[in-house]
Chains A and B, each alone.
Chain A
Amino acid sequence: MQEHSRRAQCAPFRQNPRTERAHARRVHAMVAFIHAEITVGAVFKNGRAFPRWFLYRGRKISVKEVTYFWEKRQGALIVFCFAVTDGANLYSLSFRPEKLAWSLEAVEDS
């Protein structure tokens, strides 16, 4: 899966120099959109999944905190979404039960 990075919500602000400051405020960190399947180790407890680690760019990233969990629908399919942090960066993971597959959706580093 091709990895691509872009500054989120940047185009409209870039067009107008007067909103440059607004642009800087809006994007306070680099967000990289990944959308790639990854290997994740998770604990399933009390009807919830808790990712504990995952492999990214040859490294094993330990999840320090699952900061948020939500579900979203893609048609009839449910996607379970997790915002996790390793203490330094924020990662967005998703789990698709119909494929039993985990994906890394985005990375936000400081």
Chain B
Amino acid sequence: MPRRTIIHLDMDAFFASVEQQCNPRLRRKPVAVVGRGHRTVITTSSYEARACGVKTGMNTREALRCCPGIIFVEADNARYTHTCAEFAALCREFTPLVEIFSVDEVFLDVSGSLKLFNSARAIASGIKKRLRQQTGLTCSAGIAPNKLLAKLASTMGKPDGLVAIGPADTPRFLENLPVSRLCGIGKKLEQKLAAMGITTCGQLGRTPPALLRQRFGIIGEALDHMGRGEDDSPVIPLERAPEPCSVGHSMTLSRNIGRRDLLAVHLLRLSEMVGRRTRRGGFSGKTVTLTLRYADFSTFSRQRSVSAPICASRDIYLVAKSILDAIRLAQSVRLVGVSLSRLVQPPRQIPLFPEQRRQQELTRAMDTINNRFGDFTVTWANLGFLDEYTGVISPAWRPRGTRKIDF
């Protein structure tokens, strides 16, 4: 494979930094960004709060115990998604190969841009400087021959850092690095590797590939490469990103619900959101999956397939409801999710029966109005009493296409 130069850029304490930039009174203070409602956790916190031990995922009580002076700020997702889109546009001034990895991380393949901009360091420094000038925000940059090492490098110099790893530095860099630092190795995999006596990347790289394949199957092959710092995955810009395999939405309820009729209302809202996004992408799907999380946090999913692909919100809801009706609820429910998978792009076909044509026209009319004036401008009467859905930014969010959600 020809030699590549990859840059990974990671915004520093993104949401909290945006809020501190917006409101000068929050600057240099411990700030934590939270969701709406009382059932919320810390989405991210400023470095001042992190110094007191505040971590993402803590609830507000725990955060207050760590840091009594902490200031909670409600998330404004429109600010963060706009900033992400602007950041990606800025990166595209240096290379067309920009992959949005998440709302606050991008990969750049600058292999073809080095002659124009002298060096990868110059590109990374230029982007950091422009970002600070345009928004007041900072990011950390990692430069390496591949995405795996570039992402590792960007974490080494946070905040506002710039770290480069050359091919010759890789073995020394990885030797004593804990395996959990590699993107793709979570707690469970870390424990399984530890059970084999593998705790560092150096040890992982020296483990016989056959042993890893025997223990982990096809993932073993990937682990072998990761241990040696090898990664030939390309940087995929948005235009070339594959279409989604499924479209789904889930929500944590403001209070646990045991009544089926109330759960059904939330199913209807989620089905409408799934249906809107599916139709916008020109897709239909054949499998509906219902996910429930009980009050004790046990989570399970059930799915049902239909003979013909569907995309109408009502049809998705009816299938999801039929799944719910077949479940004996053991406890009250705190989270509900609906997703549509086995997506296809079916040919346009006029329905045979008048009732189906009427439903299709109704869906089209609702979509036209909601596209013009905003989601849920016209909606099902049952949803009238529900609070406005604010939602969180999914890791799969992108500024364009089926994965785009407006906040």
Contact = CB atoms under 8 A, between A and B. Distances in A.
B23 A108 contact: yes
Given A22-B64, A83-B22, A28 B71 contact: yes
B259 interface: no
B133 to A, nearest CB: 12
Interface string B187-210: 000000000000000000000000
A29 to B, nearest CB: 7
A90 B23 contact: yes
Contacts of B375: 75
B184 interface: no
Nearest to B375: A75
A60 interface: no
Given A12-B38, A26-B72, A71 B22 contact: no
* A: contact size bracket: 20 to 34
A72 B407 contact: yes
Given A70-B82, A70-B83, A75-B372, A110 B64 contact: no
B60 interface: yes
B64 to A, nearest CB: 6
Contacts of B61: 19, 22
A61 interface: no
A67 B21 contact: yes
Nearest to B77: A72
Given A22-B60, A74-B373, A81-B78, A9 B25 contact: no
A12 B136 CA distance: 33
A59 interface: no
A110 B24 CA distance: 11
Contacts of A73: 374, 406
Contacts of A74: 373-374
Contacts of B38: 12-13, 19
Interface residues of B, number: 34
Contacts of B242: none
A73 B370 CA distance: 12
A8 interface: yes
B4 interface: no
A21 B83 CA distance: 32
Nearest to B61: A22
B24 A67 contact: yes
A85 B72 contact: no
Interface in A12-71: 12-13, 19, 21-22, 25-26, 28-29, 65, 67-68, 70-71
B18 A25 contact: no
B82 to A, nearest CB: 4
A70 B80 CA distance: 8
Interface string B277-290: 00000000000000
25 contacts: A9-B36, A9-B74, A12-B38, A22-B72, A25-B70, A28-B25, A67-B22, A67-B136, A68-B22, A71-B78, A72-B78, A72-B82, A72-B406, A72-B407, A74-B373, A75-B373, A75-B375, A75-B377, A76-B373, A77-B373, A83-B22, A83-B23, A90-B22, A90-B23, A90-B25
Given A65-B24, A70-B78, A74-B373, 20 more contacts: A13-B38, A19-B61, A25-B70, A26-B34, A26-B60, A26-B71, A28-B25, A67-B22, A67-B136, A68-B21, A73-B374, A75-B370, A75-B372, A77-B373, A77-B374, A81-B79, A83-B23, A85-B24, A90-B25, A108-B23
Q: Which 9 pairs of residues, A with B, have the shortest CB-CB distance? A: A12-B38, A72-B78, A70-B82, A26-B72, A75-B374, A68-B22, A73-B406, A75-B373, A83-B22
